[in-house]
Structure 1
């Protein structure tokens, strides 16, 4: 796989050494057991896969190279390039400006842009409507394009099944930048509707089955369906794609549920199902799959708590938290700065969108075993920072440098 020129400030000697050793030992990626870092009174079980993915590294390389090669020019990002505060702040410190926030609210008016300005498309991609706005200004929209190839693969899949007259159902968070982009690209080719979770899937299935009055659909799914969507006509042949960072098991369950509804509605034998339900297979990216599977493997190891590191608005990170929360106390932090002391920390409750202040998160026992992972947009340097901070509570921060030698 291609390697990228990512700023060294995001790298970690320890994490790089561990990942390289695990890769050499398991080139086929069949071993999802965690890596044990045994420091005596504290033991850290590090997930097999975590951190920067292909799409994130690609985006970082393009964005930083764009800044370096265009000194003196005004450079804008449509919104956050990835959902990691450190990376976005580094770009802001280099003079890059955000045109919109992550919800799509305008920060800088379009009319202030000129054809001489540079606009970087973030890793999530963007809508066809925004591409048209940029072209109207005289800016080539895809000249500085960091859209993840796996996001583009979803767009291609939607276009492919649209060509066979299927309606596209997108499993994603309706307000997320990637889902907005996928919805825009898909609805250009075929009727499209977004479902955010299994509850909405149950409701959509009721319209497929004809057990819910069609007129309710338009209010219930307001803002989540394409213009001209006809409940009676456009739910007869469907295919499911997704926001690439969703929980894999949920996407599969949603596709299975829709498939069953279609089969029931039209009384289809198994071999007839493809006539009305497209084979989209899995449109999650490889990193989302690997990271979620690695968490599942990590959770098989006995532990006292889990720490998940990443941006608080990161979808893929929140799903790792979700998996961990099912098994043991889990703390979602954005960096080592959230670890205030051995007895207190600040952490994010993504269910209620609030930062919590918790006490006694480390149990009074030895050894303490901690499961540790991070999202696909989190630099390895931050994960190492978390390890160092945890070790400092035991007077063992110097052991990190010794650990590097063990894996080299």
Structure 2
């Protein structure tokens, strides 16, 4: 796999050694057991796969190269390049300005942009409308586009099945940058609708089967469907694609469920299911899948708690927290400083986004067994700093 040139401050000698050793021992990535760091009074089990993925490293390399290549120019990002506070703060300190927040709220008016400005498209991609607006202003989008190749793969697959007459169901968080971008690209080619979860997929199925009156669809899914969408005509043939940072198992479950709906409604078999339902399993992101599978493997190790590290508005990191907290006490932090002391920790609720202090998060036992992973946009250096902090709380060295 390509090696990217990212700032050395994001790297970790400790984590690199661990990852390189696991890579040599497990070239086919078949072993999802965690790596043990035995520090005596605490034992830290690191997930088999965690941290920067291909798309994130690609985005970071392009962004910092853009800064180097354009001295004296105004440089903007459409929104956060990735969902990690450290990386975004570093870019801002280099003079990069954000045009929108992560939910699409305008921070700097597009009207202020000129052809002399540089605009970086984030790893999540952007809408066709914004791309067209930038081109009209004379701002090239292809030179400074950090869109993840696996996000683009979803767009390309959507276009392919659209040409075969399928409509698109996008499994994603409706307000997420990537979902908004994928919706824009898919709906340019074919009728498209967004579902957030299985509950909404089940609700959508009731309009597909006619169990719910068609007229109610337009209110129930307001803001989630493409212009001119006709629930009675446009859902006769579909394919399901996803926001790549969703739980892969959730996307597969939604796809399998909707597939069963079509099999029942149209009396289909394995031989003719493609007449109504497109196979889109090849759009699931490898890194998201690897990290989630690694967490599932890690959770087979008996432990006292889990710590998940990453940006608080990172979708892929939140799903790692979701997997862990279903099994054992789990704490979501974005920096070592959130480990205030041996007694208190500043935790984040991934659902409500509430941040609160937890007392007694480290059980009084020895050895204490901790599972640890990080999101795809979290630098390894941050993971090492968390390990260092835990070690210091127990007066041990790494």
**What is the aligned partner in structure 2 of residue 52 from structure 1?**
52
In the aligned structure 2, how far is the partner of 1:275 from the partner of 1:256?
A: 16
**What is the aligned partner in structure 2 of residue 405 from structure 1?**
none
1:271 alignment partner, SS class: coil
- Give how far 1:281 is off: 1.3
Indicate whether 1:218 and 2:218 are aligned. yes
1:345 alignment partner, SS class: strand
**What is the aligned partner in structure 1 of residue 136 from structure 2?**
136
- Give how far 1:57 is off: 0.2
2:76 alignment partner, SS class: strand
**What is the aligned partner in structure 2 of residue 328 from structure 1?**
328
- Note the alpha carbon deviations across 1:109-137, whole angstroms, 9 max, x for none: 11111000000000000000000110111
- Give how far 1:282 is off: 3.8
Count the aligned residue pairs.
Answer: 398
In the aligned structure 1, how far is the partner of 2:169 from the partner of 2:142?
A: 26
**What is the aligned partner in structure 1 of residue 288 from structure 2?**
288
In the aligned structure 2, how far is the partner of 1:181 from the partner of 1:148?
A: 12
Runs of 4+ in structure 1 off by over 3 angstroms are none
- Note the alpha carbon deviations across 1:146-186, whole angstroms, 9 max, x for none: 00000000000000000000000000000000000000000
In the aligned structure 2, how far is the partner of 1:341 from the partner of 1:230?
A: 57
- Give how far 1:69 is off: 1.2
1:131 alignment partner, SS class: helix
In the aligned structure 2, how far is the partner of 1:290 from the partner of 1:355?
A: 28
**What is the aligned partner in structure 1 of residue 11 from structure 2?**
11
- Note the alpha carbon deviations across 1:204-230, whole angstroms, 9 max, x for none: 011111100101110111111000000
- Note the alpha carbon deviations across 1:273-295, whole angstroms, 9 max, x for none: 11000011142211101100000
User: Which residues of 2 match residues 35-74 of structure 1 at below 5 A?
Assistant: 35-74=35-74
- Give how far 1:270 is off: 2.7
CA contact (8 A) 1:32 1:294 kept: yes
CA contact (8 A) 1:209 1:264 kept: no
Indicate whether 1:318 and 2:318 are aligned. yes
In the aligned structure 2, how far is the partner of 1:281 from the partner of 1:46?
A: 28
In the aligned structure 1, how far is the partner of 2:146 from the partner of 2:199?
A: 33
**What is the aligned partner in structure 2 of residue 206 from structure 1?**
206
**Runs (5+) with no aligned partner, structure 1:** 401-408
In the aligned structure 2, how far is the partner of 1:319 from the partner of 1:283?
A: 18
CA contact (8 A) 1:246 1:284 kept: no
User: Which residues of 2 match residues 159-238 of structure 1 at below 5 A?
Assistant: 159-238=159-238
User: Which residues of 2 match residues 273-284 of structure 1 at below 5 A?
Assistant: 273-284=273-284
In the aligned structure 1, how far is the partner of 2:146 from the partner of 2:374?
A: 22
**Runs (5+) with no aligned partner, structure 2:** none
In the aligned structure 1, how far is the partner of 2:135 from the partner of 2:62?
A: 20
2:21 alignment partner, SS class: helix
**What is the aligned partner in structure 2 of residue 148 from structure 1?**
148
In the aligned structure 2, how far is the partner of 1:97 from the partner of 1:335?
A: 23
- Give how far 1:330 is off: 0.3
